[in-house]
Amino acid sequence: MVQINFALKEVNCKIVYYGPGMSGKTTNLEVVHQKAPEENKGELTSISTDGDRTLFFDFMPLDLGNVAGMRTKFQLYTVPGQVYYNSTRKLVLQGVDGVIFIADSDPEKLQENIESYENLIENLREYGKDIREVPHVIQYNKRDLPNALPVETLDKALNKFGVPTFEAVAATGEGVFPTLKVLAGMVLESIDRGSPADKRQEASKRPAAAPARAAAAPARPAPAPAAAAPARGAPQKRPAPAPTGRVAPPPPSTGGRAPARPAAAVAATRRAAPAQAVAASKAARSAEEAAPRRGGSGLVVALVVTLLAAIAGAVYFVMHQPL
């Protein structure tokens, strides 16, 4: 994992040399240590067995100077090639920024090359890294062997992802620095743009604020559909007035008088008034003509009633006199 110290303006990157046993990993590191300027290299630390095979790992710091205003340093590691040291190889890969895979050009080592490359893929996967997203190159070492495998054969067997490849003879230093130089550039470029794995990790940490706001917002009611316009010439119905819940007020009191008639009734009465007046005048003349006859009979009746009342009063008076 790249370590950036902004206070000191330093960038520290980790590069690991990976490959099968005796392929030339330690030899590459030794050549870099021998030919690098004294002011740019640190001490080479190596733990080996009696047979000159790496038991644990090799380590060497390398200072590349100022790159884009930052002092850039590389920590170079190698891993043991033996299969039974896989736990150590996995430990050294932790936090790696770039890998140089060293393949042996000996035909008898082809299967070991394939198994070691598959082991690299598996160990990176356990750290959550995809080898296609990790800057790495392949170096075909020992090209000075008389029976060295053709580069095309090695490419077909190992270079599954089309990464840069280099031919080298590490014992003489041929191809060592070009391999390291290209990988260093790939690592610095990946720092500049950010690795896809880091981008996915940052995206997963961001809260999904936009969906939460969208879910919290109440849904707006859909607008009511507009009524279709009536056809021209068709009778239009007026909508019935909406009930307001108010009770209609009682008609005003008339004080015992007949309520006022509508204007139409008054007009009809006025039109009938002349005819009624003519009929009334005719009835009056008929009553005047019959009045003498009714008046004579009425007078006779009144006289008879008065006489009978007088007789009854006299009889009542006589009957109540004392003897």
Domain ranges of the chain: 3-197, 270-323
Strand partners, 136: 99
102 versus 313: which is more confidently predicted? 102
Residue 158 has pLDDT above 50, yes or no: yes
Model confidence band, residue 272 (pLDDT cutoffs 50, 70, 90): very low
Model confidence band, residue 192 (pLDDT cutoffs 50, 70, 90): confident
Q: Taking the alpha carbons of 67, 68, 72, 78 in that order, is the dihedral positive or negative?
A: negative
Pick the CATH number of 3-197 from 3.40.50.300, 3.30.420.40, 1.10.10.10, 3.90.1150.10: 3.40.50.300
**pLDDT, mean of residues 182-189:** 91
Q: How far apart (Å, rounded) are the C-alpha atoms in residues 301 and 298?
A: 5
* Residue 155 pLDDT: 96
Please, are residues 123 and 92 in contact by the beta-carbon 8 Å criterion? no
**Residue type present at position 22:** M
* Residue 87 pLDDT: 84
Any long-range contacts for 31-36 (C-beta under 8 Å, 24+ apart)? 31/170, 31/173, 31/176, 31/177, 32/60, 32/62, 32/76, 32/176, 32/177, 32/180, 33/60, 34/173, 35/173, 35/177, 36/62
Q: In terms of pTM, does the model score above 0.85?
A: no
* Residue 268 pLDDT: 47
